[in-house]
Amino acid sequence: MKILRMLFILIVSLLLIIMQTSNAKNNIFASENIKIANVAVVMNDFQHPQMLFIKQGLTDIQNENRDKVNFIFYDGKGNLAIQTEIINSLISNSNIDLMVIGLINPQSDVVEDIIRKADLRNMPIIMNDVNPETALKLSKGYSKVIFLKGKSEEVGILQGKILVDEWNNKGMDKNKDNILQYVMLKGETNNPVANVREKYSVSTINEAGIKTQQLALRVVNWNKEIAKQAIEALLLKYDGNIEAIIANDDTIAIGAIEALQKYGYNKGNKSKYIDVVGATGLQEVKDLIDKGFMTGTAIINYEAQAEAVYKIAMNLLNNESPIKDTNYTISDGFVVLTVDYFPYTKKNNISS
């Protein structure tokens, strides 16, 4: 009887050891074998100030959590082929625990191919700037992929409200036809963020009772020089009929301002001024606004976005719900981030 009791105790002890070992393997931060998570961050182009803001935010978080995370950054250089080559290499790298990916104008088949390969390796992935249809479809089939989105419509709404305020001050309607003639500078074709900002900036103006006429839409690939060249050509074409320029972000808004100033606009003469709105909150743009050379911008909190990436990544690596201990929500395949946006104009220059 004593032998049977000792054998029973031995079996139970072995089972407990096996269970503890299994739990340690399932948790990257298990107390028995603490491991710093290697998180690869593959961005579309570090020439974009927005990407640099995210990189700096993640770097600051890493410096405060050196015992938990190590971010490794990869620059796609604005080239999808380069990005996919980097991603494929990282998927086969056993030292990488999780990937954060911001693809260049991602197509559904490209996104699915990446996720399928990562899923074979059981690697968690966080992706942003994916169109809603793709996110809804793929989120149902792959448990370790998270699609992020902010409330991009709020950026467009802020841009629209800035222009509504200007219109109501009676200075914009240069030809007195009660129609706001504008040019749209769009970041990318079929980019979800660009699409939403474009839509809501104009709809906000219309909902305020202001009629609009789009004189031109130019896709400028988030590039300042392309934006500058586009506005130079449009100024010659429309010869004083442009009343506003709506830019998807501050980088291309700066390109628009440079083009305008080349032709004598937006240098301080109120009779030769075209309203320009952007989005990001670059210091260069704030300076232009403070000098009266640009109308306004929507400030985006990139520190909060970086914090969201970190929190969700840690949750995934610990096999927790991606939104555990956050105020984020899940909707239509996306984790929706709660990030504040603020208007910056000469009248209400809220510092970022």
List, for residues 108-161, the tens digit of each pLDDT value: 889 999 999 999 999 999 998 888 888 888 888 888 899 998 888 999 999 999
Query: Does residue 16 lie in a domain region?
Result: no
Q: Does residue 13 fall inside a structural domain?
A: no
Q: Identify whether residues 161 and 106 lie together within a single domain.
A: no
What is the domain range of residue 192?
153-300
Residue type at 116 in one-letter notation: R
CA dist., res. 212 & res. 178, Å (int): 9
Q: Is residue 281 domain-shared with residue 329, that is, in the same domain?
A: no
Do 180 and 143 share a structural domain?
A: no
Same domain? 169 vs 88? no
Q: What is the mean pLDDT of residues 159-183?
A: 95
Q: Does the residue 205 lie in any domain?
A: yes
The pTM (predicted TM-score) of the whole model is: 0.83
Q: Are residues 290 and 272 part of one domain?
A: yes
Tell whether 175 and 296 lie within a shared domain: yes
| Greater model confidence, 184 or 33 | 184
Q: Are residues 296 and 160 in the same domain?
A: yes
**pLDDT score of 26:** 46
| 315-346 tens-digit pLDDT | 999 999 999 999 999 998 899 998 889 999 98
Claim to verify: residue 125 and residue 198 sit in the same structural domain: no
- Residue 344 domain flag: no
Task: Outline where DSSP puts E strands in the chain.
Answer: 37-43, 69-75, 98-102, 125-128, 145-149, 179-186, 211-219, 244-247, 275-280, 296-300, 329-331, 334-336, 341-345
* Residue bearing the bigger pLDDT, 305 or 32: 305
Question: In a 3-state reduction of DSSP, which class is residue 272?
Answer: coil
Domain count, the chain: 2
Tell me if 71 is assigned to some domain.
Answer: yes
Using CB atoms within 10 Å of the CB of residue 12, give its burial: 0 to 12 exposed, 13 to 18 middle, 19+ buried.
exposed
Whether residue 263 sits in one domain with residue 245: yes
> Would residue 10 count as lying in a domain?
no
CA distance 300 to 280: 5
Same domain, 69 and 124: yes
Q: Are strands 296-300 and 275-280 parallel, antiparallel or unpaired?
A: parallel
Identity of the residue numbered 50: Q
Bridge partners (DSSP) of residue 39 are 71, 98
- 9, part of any domain: no
Say if residue 102 is in the same domain as residue 158. Answer: no
Could you tell me the CATH number of the domain that includes residue 274? 3.40.50.2300
Instruction: Report if residue 307 sits inside a domain.
Output: yes
Do 171 and 278 fall into the same domain? Answer: yes
Angle between helical axes of 132-141 and 108-120 (0-180°, round to 10): 20
